[in-house]
């Protein structure tokens, strides 16, 4: 192995006590391939097994905490009769030596009535997303909000009982936790909104519900992480200052890490084009001394991974590159980094073990993966 990459292979121990073998994780990415009832398919098990070996940890695609919070092809952690299905996923990842972290979420206003069998999507307020064909959601009542918080705790319990090593609370990518924090999607004037501090109440309550589940049900150290999107382009929308205030509150809650979701790990603030300092570095300097930061976003080569760690963060996650090159960590470890694949051809599908629905999803979004035709 090239000694320049030694840092990638240093073990890391979270505050909870869980140790991962190295600093490289697989980022959560939508496979769109679960059964309609949210059970894990064999295709997905093969997809994860193909990519997990050698990584420190794998964060799965998101699993809904309630059935009105799903999108087509997402996993379900919404009922006890899905524990066995989730257990197969955890064991598949762990059989390769990697730790298995289940990401849990609620789709909120990003859902569709067609996917929800005619049911109207729900959110903090009745404000549609700024996207084509967005549906206007129904605002959740106070009682429904409290039931949702409990659902996050119950989903965490199921992850524990399914044998996962941790849970990541999905507070990013415009889903429900982010919707409660965003001034665009949250126009409430009760306990759950109205000021920035009140918009923090839902995320903080979700963290508490998950923590209680870990305290009650986990018989061994269990990772609890939180994923954020630092900014929104909507007006009004989440600013970097908003996010830094939220992280100041969250860092005292006993979490194991913050996973910062950006398109490029080196990108500067979206709202301040003059500031070229990477957002992840800004966050690292603000809260990184108190809680580990995971960096993600267009990391393809080991040199780019090392550059990301040079920002001061202790952990990196590879996303799309893990789809393109399932043997990424193996090739780096064995000194074969020059053979790392950075683009794919349609004939690579069999080796990549991409489920049909995932391949269809990829093809419908030109440019999302570097696909080349012979």
pLDDT of residue 207: 98
Each residue of 70-108: b (16+ CB within 10 Å) or e? bbbbbbbbbeeebbebbbbbbebbbebebbbbbbbbbbb
Contact 62, 113 (CB under 8 A): no
Q: Using pLDDT thresholds of 50, 70 and 90, give the confidence band for residue 347.
A: confident
Mean pLDDT of 198-203: 98
CATH of 3-363, one of 3.10.310.70, 2.60.40.420, 2.60.120.10, 3.20.20.70: 3.20.20.70
pLDDT, mean of residues 300-315: 98
The predicted model gives 303-331 an average pLDDT of: 98
Coil/strand/helix, residue 170: strand
The answer, yes or no, to whether residue 50 has pLDDT greater than 80, is yes
Assigned token pair, 163:
């044998």
**Is the pLDDT score of 47 beyond 80?**
yes
Catalytic residue flag (residue 5): no
For the chain, give the number of residues: 374
What integer pLDDT is reported at residue 304 of this predicted model?
98
DSSP-H helix ranges across 218-269 = 240-250
DSSP letter string over 267-290? ---SS-TT--S-HHHHHHHHHTTT
pLDDT at 374: 67
Report the pLDDT value the prediction gives residue 361, as an integer from 0 to 100.
87
Model confidence at 191: pLDDT above 90: yes
State both tokens at 167.
């849970």
* Mean pLDDT value across residues 96-125: 97
Predicted model pTM: 0.98
**Predicted local confidence at residue 363, as pLDDT:** 86
Burial, 50: exposed, middle or buried (Cβ in 10 Å; 0-12, 13-18, 19+)?
middle
6 half-sphere exposure, CB direction, 13 A CA radius:
2
Q: Residue 8: what pLDDT?
A: 98
Rounded percentage of the chain residues whose pLDDT exceeds 90: 93
Contact 309, 332 (CB under 8 A): no
Quote the pLDDT of residue 373: 81
Exactly one of 47, 48, 175, 226 is catalytic; which is it? 175
Q: 124: Cβ–Cβ under 8 A, 6 or more apart, which residues? A: 108, 139, 140, 176, 179, 180, 185, 186, 187, 188, 192, 193, 202
Q: What is the pLDDT of residues 131-169, one digit of tens each?
A: 999 999 999 999 999 999 999 999 999 999 999 999 999
Looking up tokens 């949210």 gives: 38
Q: What would the DSSP string read from start to end of 12-37?
A: EE-TTS-EESSSEEEPP-----S-TT
Per-residue pLDDT, averaged over 293-309, amounts to 98
Q: Which residue has the higher pLDDT, 216 or 347?
A: 216
Does the pLDDT of residue 362 top 90, yes or no?
A: no
The mean of the pLDDT values for the chain is: 97
- Give the strand pairing for 19-20 and 12-13: antiparallel
Contacts of 343 (CB under 8 A, 6+ apart): 324, 370, 371, 372
């Amino acid at each position: 192995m090239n000694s320049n990459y030694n840092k990638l292979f240093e073990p890391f121990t979270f505050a909870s006590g869980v140790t991962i073998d190295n600093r490289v994780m697989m980022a959560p990415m939508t496979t769109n391939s679960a059964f309609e009832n949210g059970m894990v398919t064999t295709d997905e098990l093969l997809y994860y097994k193909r990519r997990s070996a050698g990584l420190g940890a794998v964060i799965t695609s998101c699993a809904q905490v309630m059935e009105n919070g799903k999108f087509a092809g997402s996993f379900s952690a919404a009922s006890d009769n899905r524990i066995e299905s989730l257990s197969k996923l955890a064991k598949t990842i762990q059989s390769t030596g990697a730790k298995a972290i289940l990401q849990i979420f609620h789709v909120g206003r990003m859902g569709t009535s067609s996917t929800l069998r005619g049911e109207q999507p729900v959110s903090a307020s009745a404000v549609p997303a700024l996207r084509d064909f967005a549906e206007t959601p129904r605002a959740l009542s106070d009682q429904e909000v409290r039931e949702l918080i409990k659902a996050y705790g119950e989903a965490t319990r199921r992850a524990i009982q399914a044998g996962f090593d941790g849970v990541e609370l999905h507070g990013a990518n415009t889903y429900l936790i982010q919707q409660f924090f965003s001034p665009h999607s949250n126009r409430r004037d009760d306990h759950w909104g109205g000021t920035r501090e009140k918009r923090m109440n839902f995320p903080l309550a979700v963290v508490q519900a998950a923590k209680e589940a870990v305290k009650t049900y986990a018989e061994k150290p269990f990772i609890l992480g939180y994923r954020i999107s630092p900014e929104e382009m909507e007006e009004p929308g989440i600013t970097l200052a908003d996010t830094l205030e939220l992280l100041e509150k969250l860092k005292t809650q006993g979490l194991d890490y913050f996973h910062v979701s950006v398109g490029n790990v080196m990108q500067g603030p979206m709202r301040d084009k003059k500031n070229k300092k990477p957002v992840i570095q800004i966050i690292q300097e603000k809260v990184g001394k108190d809680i580990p930061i995971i960096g993600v976003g267009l990391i393809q080569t080991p040199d780019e991974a090392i550059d990301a760690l040079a920002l001061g963060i202790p952990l990196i996650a590879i996303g799309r590159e893990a789809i393109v090159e399932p043997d990424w960590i193996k090739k780096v470890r064995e000194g074969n980094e020059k053979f790392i694949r950075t683009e794919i051809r349609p004939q690579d599908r069999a080796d990549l073990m991409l489920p049909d629905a995932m391949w269809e999803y990829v093809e419908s979004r030109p440019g999302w993966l570097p696909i080349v035709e012979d």
